[in-house]
Amino acid sequence: MPSFFAPSRLLGILPRQKPAVSAPVAQVVADFAKAHALPLRHEGPDLQAQATIATRGLFLARQERWSDLSHEMKMADRHLDRTLGGVAHAPLLARGAAGDAIGPLLQVLADPGLVAAHAPGGGISALEEALEDFEDDFALGLVLVYALIETGLAWRGQGWISDVPQAHWHQFQAHFQQVQAVLATHGQFTRNSAAYAAARCALFAALPARAEEVCTAYEWLIDLDPGNPHHMRNFGVHLLPRWFGDYDRLETQAQRIAGRCASVWGAGGYAWVYLDALRHDPKALTVLNVDRFANAVTAILDNAENPHYANDLAAFGALTLAGPAFQSGVLRPMAQGLRQALDQVLQGRLREIHAPVWMQAAQPVALPGTAARPVVEEGGKIPPAVPLFQPGLRRRAQISRLRPSLSA
């Protein structure tokens, strides 16, 4: 079988070493490091690790060493390997392996000066063809899954549903329906796979679901991989009113997850669930317990002497909570109180400043919403649940039927 991989940049897959950031923010970071007599690292060790792992996936794909890629993904998934910043290795390998297939399309969709209708096509189809001899291998199935996820999210872009052109919205939905189809072919064999469970939770970006279903899926994922904070952070975001929950449910689940992960994080799960939820919705401060959050941060730093996590939490307090979204009305004193509590907890915890982590904390955050939310708001009814797994589904027929007209 001829290789469809041509040497190219791994566009849209590898993390960028120097995220775009305004000069004033960079100066704030440099001033903070100087004021606290801390060394300032510009390269970002976690981003370097992510790039190395994704490049490994790309290399194996270009060499068509699919069995080796499958083995490395399965071992990484089984051992819950992750980077210093908690990013799981298995999805990084999968995204890297899909880089040449979807990179050119992601580049077009990321550039507002380019016309999406002229985007290169055939990438997903070529990837399917390259993997057709391994359709029973769930690890290689995840390569296709993450390629579809990345492409679907690129078609959708950021912002509310009303901001997305209809053609792009259809592409987004079609790609995630393909994800659902691929996952369904492996569901009965992957009950212990954190990478699979994470991909299942990624479906909530496009498919409607009830809050209870979202909680069940995330609890399953977190139980499989309790040491990965990104699962808890994503869960908190999906518990916001914009997605599937409300503020009371967010608080309840933050306490609940803290208990489920106590053997790993102590009380730290409470802070992980809230961290990105607060970045997306400052009004979540109205239900947050400041003392419990401060105790949770202490527990995180006690249970994981990790410079990346210390930087992540310090940057959240110094930059995110100081942002304009937290300076209005009743939120301002709440944000100030939380910042002061974090300052006390973090005294002596920072050994160096990782500039990319701080720059990311200063950037606005946005994640794709869900198709369910407008239906709930306008009609007052939650749509019927979409079955996440259909045991009788045959992959090839389903994907052929659902393939978008402008697929990557």
- Arithmetic mean of pLDDT, 378-403: 32
- Arithmetic mean of pLDDT, 214-226: 96
Instruction: Say whether pLDDT at 227 is over 90.
Output: yes
Q: Delimit the domains of the chain by residue range.
A: 46-207+386-408, 232-384
Residues 309-344: b if buried by 16+ CB within 10 A, e if exposed: bbbbbbbbbbbbbbeebbeeeebeebbeebbebbee
> What pLDDT band is residue 13 in, cutting at 50, 70 and 90?
very low
DSSP string, 173-235: HHHHHHHHHHHHHHGGG-TT-HHHHHHHHHGGGTS---HHHHHHHHHHHHHH-TT-HHHHHHH
Helices 45-62 and 99-110 sit at what angle, rounded to 10 degrees?
A: 120
- The C-alpha atoms of residue 102 and residue 154 are separated, in whole angstroms, by 10
Greater pLDDT, 19 or 30: 30
What number of CA atoms fall less than 13 Å from residue 84's CA on the CB side?
A: 18
Q: Which residues pair with 40 in a beta bridge?
A: 353
- Arithmetic mean of pLDDT, 56-70: 96
The whole-number pLDDT of residue 162 equals 76
The whole-number pLDDT of residue 408 equals 39
- The C-alpha atoms of residue 232 and residue 110 are separated, in whole angstroms, by 28
The whole-number pLDDT of residue 311 equals 94
The whole-number pLDDT of residue 188 equals 65
The whole-number pLDDT of residue 191 equals 81
The whole-number pLDDT of residue 88 equals 96
> What pLDDT band is residue 376 in, cutting at 50, 70 and 90?
very low
Instruction: Say whether pLDDT at 151 is over 80.
Output: yes
Residue found by looking up tokens 């009788």 in the block: 392
- Closest to 368 measured CA to CA, from 219, 89, 94, 173: 173
Lowest-pLDDT choice from 56-60, 80-84, 223-227, 358-362:
358-362
- With contact defined as beta carbons under 8 Å apart, do 213 and 201 qualify? no
CA distances from 134 to 78, 200, 323 (A): 20, 20, 48
Instruction: Say whether pLDDT at 397 is over 60.
Output: no
The whole-number pLDDT of residue 3 equals 35
Lowest-pLDDT choice from 40-44, 128-132, 180-184:
40-44
Q: What is the pLDDT of residues 300-336, one digit of tens each?
A: 999 988 899 999 999 999 999 998 899 988 999 999 9
Round the average pLDDT of the chain to a whole number and report it. 82
- Arithmetic mean of pLDDT, 102-110: 84
Q: What is the pLDDT of residues 161-177, one digit of tens each?
A: 777 888 888 999 999 99
The whole-number pLDDT of residue 112 equals 67
> What pLDDT band is residue 199 in, cutting at 50, 70 and 90?
very high
- Report how far apart the first and last C-alpha atoms of the chain are (Å, whole number): 20
Greater pLDDT, 47 or 389: 47
> What pLDDT band is residue 255 in, cutting at 50, 70 and 90?
very high
DSSP string, 232-295: HHHHHHHTSTTTT--HHHHHHHHHHHHHHTHHHHTTTHHHHHHHHHHHH-GGGGGT--HHHHHH
- Which backbone phi and psi does 353 adopt, to 5 degrees? -105, 125
- The C-alpha atoms of residue 134 and residue 349 are separated, in whole angstroms, by 48
- With contact defined as beta carbons under 8 Å apart, do 230 and 86 qualify? yes
Cα 37 to the center of its chain, rounded Å: 33
The whole-number pLDDT of residue 43 equals 82
Instruction: Say whether pLDDT at 159 is over 90.
Output: no
pTM of structure = 0.84
> What pLDDT band is residue 394 in, cutting at 50, 70 and 90?
very low
Q: Which residues pair with 41 in a beta bridge?
A: 354
> What pLDDT band is residue 385 in, cutting at 50, 70 and 90?
very low
